[in-house]
Structure 1
Amino acid sequence: MITAIRRLFSSALGKFLALAFVVLVGIAFALSDVTGNSAFGGLGGANVAKVGSTEIGSGELRDRVRLAYNQTREQQPGLTMAAFVESGGLDQVLDQLIEGAAFEQLANDMGFGLNKRLVDGRIADLPIFAGVSGSFDQAAYQAFLRQNGISEAQLRGDIRQQLFLEQIAEPIGRMPRVSAAMAQPYAALLLEKRRGSATFVPASPFAPTSDPGDAALRKYLSQHVARYTIPERRVIQYALFDRSAVAVPAVTDAEIAEAYKANAPRYAASETRRFAQVIAPDQATANTIAAKVRGGASLTAAAQGAGLSAATTGDLTQTAYAATTSAAVAKTAFTAKQGDLLGPTQTELGWAVARIEDVTVKPARTLAEASGEIREELAKNKANEAVVDYYNSLQDAVNGGAAIEEVANDRKLKLVETPALLPSGRAPAQPAFALPPELAPMIAQAFQGGTEGEGQLATIVENEKFAVFAVKSIVAAAPPPFAEIRGGLLADWRLAEGQKVARDKARAIVKAVEGGKDLAAAAREAGPNIGTVQTIGGSRAELGQNGQPVPPELALLFSMAQGSVKTLEIPGNRGWMVIALGEVDRPNPKDIDPKRVAAIAQPLGPAFGNELVGQLVAEAKRRAGVKINKDLLEQLRKELTGAAPVQ
């Protein structure tokens, strides 16, 4: 469950450069600074932490945790807030806020600065602020700030922090290179081989068959509520519209005539010519090439004879050719016939010898002849403008607080209401319900923020199809009614009880092995239903090959001391494993092939870079001074996990 969380916080450098939680980069979610009035622990107000001169309010931390949770839930749709917090999400986000604030203060102390134009440029590049045309839209920017309750100063502060991190952390993180001598011990570790044995103690044979009653099952549910909780669901009302819903004004003859007049050069008679030419470094060489061509040789062959090469231009007008030569040369070139040789002519690059390869003459087109083309172009432009105007009118309507029903009725759009949906688009209460796959962008946007009844627009097909929608209601994450899940609770309770027996048997096997017995004999003495002893092991280099997850038993085997024996719990109350490490074979670092050492040294550089960045951030925190209100942090933890009412 916590795989995605760990991946987001996998390295000191990575978590700064990703900035998924500290900075708003393409995420439509509010990061507001909400504080209370009560005092705690000398920090002042409802501040969960103080970093130097920066205070981190509990409201700000709460909102940023929700942002982190929403992003992680995109990868794990079934993740609940309680599970996210219990997996370390709250602490990780607080660490990022503390480290980011400390790092910004360190950057200021070191004399780093940012101007307003740099921050403006980063804001303009954020996709969340792009309009229908794809470029920055001031209306979309203001609407985002207004809808999400975030001030422009807050947004700019976040982006300033990002830019400081990019300026300082990224160069440091990419700087180190690891020498071969330093890489040798790591190479030896990678080539290490281990051999051990393992046995499995299943839980199911020891599970009771009795029914403990509702009271015991309700208690079990309260202890494992996160496991049975259905994530937050949202009921969405939406209406689709595309170009067919937009009335496009007809193109008039007057508009065609005006466009024809405004673009007169486009429809006038024109002539373009294509040239093959060679540039010689001096006049003598150019004269030699020209003489050979006039004698019957091709321009290409003549150029090659002088150690040069000929090139062919595109179709050029007289004005374009004059820009590369001169007005006089271009005039001569456009009065000559196809196949004529020109030059040598002195240019800025040298002496040019050219041949006219092709002449294309386009006669002038009358208004009547160009009308069809102009009408088609004007119609396309009008259609694009009409779509943009229609989209903007809807945006203005929802920004003005119009209800989704009102917007749909006014424009005669079909309003559709979904059942309560998960972020994946599934409806737990209606398993047969299937949302059209094309609406995935709308669903993702609906779960990124906003409040009930707040209208929004989503792009379904770029520049073609759109949706206006609103979240009608939000169903909070909660377990289903007890009666609906009693059967599953009973089965899980039985396995949990069997897991306790399996744990005790696994511990007894460990104790017997530590007392001098071999694993096979200890497993037999533990009683029936114990799995046979299997040999496990391999080389460390084989772990996680091709991106495959490392089996838990092998991960434990490669972290144990030689001769030790340990237990490993199998998730899902499936049982326990007992693992004993026998042989460890690690090569002498000096005997390893230098090529292999060099191959290992290369990826070690970023790891050392991450370490340097981590040390720099630790120093920033030390200089700034960090105080954490543990009582307030624990209160927020309970609030987010549902263990205490929201204060």
Structure 2
Amino acid sequence: MLAGIRTFSKSIFAKIIFGVIALSFVIWGLNASMLNLGTSREVAEIGSQKITPIELDRAFQRSVQNMRNVFGPNFNQQQAIQMGLLNNTVQSLVSQKVLREDAKDMGIGISDDKVRDTIFTSDNFKDPTTGQFSRDRFLQALYTAGYTEQEFIEGVRGDLMSQQVVGSLTGTAAVPEMMAKQIVAYRKEQRSGSFFALNAAGFENIAVADDATLRKFHEENAAQFTAPESRDVTLATLSASDVISTIAVTDEEIAESYKQREAEFQTPEKRAVEQILFAPNDEQSAHEAYKKLQEGADFMAIAKEAGMDESMVKLGEFTANDILPDLSAATFALSEGGVSEPVETALGWHILRVSSITPGSTQSIDEVRDILVEGLKQFKAEDAIYDLAASFDEELGAGTSIEDAARDVGAKTYKLNGVVRGEGLYGEAIDGADEINAKIFELGNGEESFLEETGSGTRYVLRVENVTPSALRPFEDVRDDVVAAWTADERQKQMMAKAEELANNVNSGSDIATLALDDAASLKETGLTKRTGQGLGNDVNPSVAAALFTLEAGKAKAIQTGEEILVVRLDDIKLADAQTADASSINDELKSAINEDILSQYLGYLRDEISVTVNNTVINGLYAPTATN
């Protein structure tokens, strides 16, 4: 997936988004005070500006389509939502509006000439041969990205306004050159050393301590031997899965469901489309090109004459709903290999060719019967559960015990003993176990919850029967555990003492290789490494690099890495020259960090100055989990 994202970041669409309108993606933190769950049908209100559902959906669909170009055509809307793409889209739109609203309040305006110059000087839209602005490349890029020309122009204008604000804040950041050079030298310094792991075989027979020592260890390390607070609980749950086995489905219902859901079982026809695009005012050239094609000219050759390369000609595969609406009818009227007459859209004049057709298909009712039955049963069960839950709640409200009320509505009951905070429900396969666990620890001893509902729809009610406070387990009950823990601790202490003795011997002039040999250990070389551990062998713990950068040349120290105790010696230091170091990248990094901090503080200020409300009800309504695409 990371490779796919890297590929996406190099695409023409990414260059447009992250280059010309990069400010759109400043993260705007949203908090609970910004959420508006009122009657407004807007996605968000930012000062005097609004984000409409259409605006959000168009931005989100552009993002989804772009991800399809990376991850393939099966990447769908729900996957995008799970990845956080919808949330990021909302945040980016809010950030746009916040900065634009601030610019508007300051009276900042951007002329048409400035917008034009910004677009014309963008490398993304220049012909690679002439180095000049290419309208064809510009329109092709917008088409691929899903923007209309007017949308893009206004987006550039808004972001130029925002840049005026941001530039005034961040343009003065400066980093002292010597400081940057010193950081480069610090990062690029390399060290190498030798090390060996102490042979643990000599520390296997640790004599067991007397009870007095063990009892003291038990008290001093009480956390290891303390039983957490636990609770005994009576729990009743009611879910659709409890009643689904009792649900019957008729053939008539299956047929009706198939009719309603038929679109889900259809794979639409796809067509691989190529195009030659001419400017809006160049209809004559489009018709001349079409005439040549009718006379047998090569499609790609004509496209190259029009200044288009192969990547601009081949648009990819589309369904009738995926392609630009103005081109859909013409595209799907062609036979395989067919070429259309020039078609006019807002982007210009298109000549289309369908290079291949992948026929559509529809699964029969018998092929999807199991899916239909499962869906119908689930729907009926969820419908039935509302009535059962209402009856359950009424009985509980009337004073009926959990056990009796559960029996009357067919709910499942559980007696759970020794439930510990944060550890679920001890292996019981109960939906929402973690949520129920949290509720258990909100109640006091003897208290009963209301009828609650988990995130996935299971209703439950519980009663805390008993609370066992956290307490240190008696020594006699955990003596074996104490012996094991003390022995392991003693072994580590003895090994570390031995390693420190060996390190002192190295520091006094002893040869580390001889000491390793005497300990029946294997001496290893670290290789040249930076502070980050870059350069270490795959089998060398990063703690070794950290140790090397605390030592003087020729000196050694003992360190612990997990269960191993190592003796590490610094053999060589390779300093980086601060005077000759290229600090440009560090300078840019520090400037960026300073600017990000300034901008973050300014956005924090704007949170208080500009009213921001986000309507999650509208957003959730637009992208319900049952939506498909």
Question: TM-score, normalization: structure 1?
Answer: 0.41
Question: TM-score, normalization: structure 2?
Answer: 0.42
